[in-house]
A and B are shown apart, each in its own frame.
Chain A
Amino acid sequence: GAVVSQHPSWVICKSGTSVKIECRSLDFQATTMFWYRQFPKQSLMLMATSNEGSKATYEQGVEKDKFLINHASLTLSTLTVTSAHPEDSSFYICSAREPLGSQPYFGPGTRLTVL
């Protein structure tokens, strides 16, 4: 099946720093990717839809200036958590779909801890 990778798999940073997370579709091109956040013992919450070559679409309540999304190519989307704070500590997961695929595939996730 299709493969989606994320990098880094985990990151620890100080409060106030910015963290970039990459999501790559390894064997297919994805015009659309999705970014999710999951807090402990909760489900995945859709943060935004990343569109190749255009602006991302953010879900209600998600600050676009806080979570910068760039989808510069058909195989790469990046999520930058700007000026991270401890409350941003979470599990961030991306997903992508093959153009004619039957289901979304998920990256392995990035665990962010902000001290």
Chain B
Amino acid sequence: RKEVEQDPGPFNVPEGATVAFNCTYSNSASQSFFWYRQDCRKEPKLLMSVYSSGNEDGRFTAQLNRASQYISLLIRDSKLSDSATYLCVVENTGGFKTIFGAGTRLFVKA
């Protein structure tokens, strides 16, 4: 079983749609959780950190459920510029080893 698993893509949605990505992780001792965005042939860029209390940044909302070892990202009012690959990232204790999910490709169309 992979340490971090994400929804298989791609997601094809129209502009203005709401889309949700899910992610599960296997190491219960994982400490930190993030969503990164990666554009084609570029390095990943931090989208947002994920906290147990949930956090929101504009159109983006992230949730963490430690009991279920589950992370989610909700994008509201999708824009064309949201088209990218979204990576679920988990950081383990002792050395901050960072593990990436396989990524979910999002295509937002006009």
Chain A bound to chain B: yes
Residue pair A103, B46 in contact (C-beta under 8 Å) = yes
Shortest A17–chain B CB gap in Å is 23
A95-B34 Cα distance, complex, nearest whole Å: 14
B26 is an interface residue with CB less than 8 A from chain A? no
Count of A-B residue pairs with CB < 8 Å? 43
Beyond contacts A36-B100, A104-B91: 5 other A-B pairs, Cβ-Cβ < 8 A, are A34-B98, A43-B100, A46-B100, A93-B44, A97-B96
Shortest B22–chain A CB gap in Å is 16
Residue pair B97, A103 in contact (C-beta under 8 Å) = no
Given A109-B43, A111-B41, residue A104 in contact with residue B101 (CB < 8 A): no
A102 is an interface residue with CB less than 8 A from chain B? yes
* Number of B interface residues in the complex (CB < 8 A): 20
Shortest A27–chain B CB gap in Å is 17
The 8 Å CB contact of B49, one of A43, A91, A102, is A102
Residue of B nearest to A44 (CB): B100
Residue pair B102, A43 in contact (C-beta under 8 Å) = yes
Please give, as numbers and ranges, the residues of chain B lying within 8 Å of A106 by CB-CB distance.
43-45
Please give, as numbers and ranges, the residues of chain B lying within 8 Å of A93 by CB-CB distance.
43-44
Shortest B34–chain A CB gap in Å is 6
| Interface residues in B23-72 (C-beta closer than 8 Å to A) | 32, 34, 41-46, 49
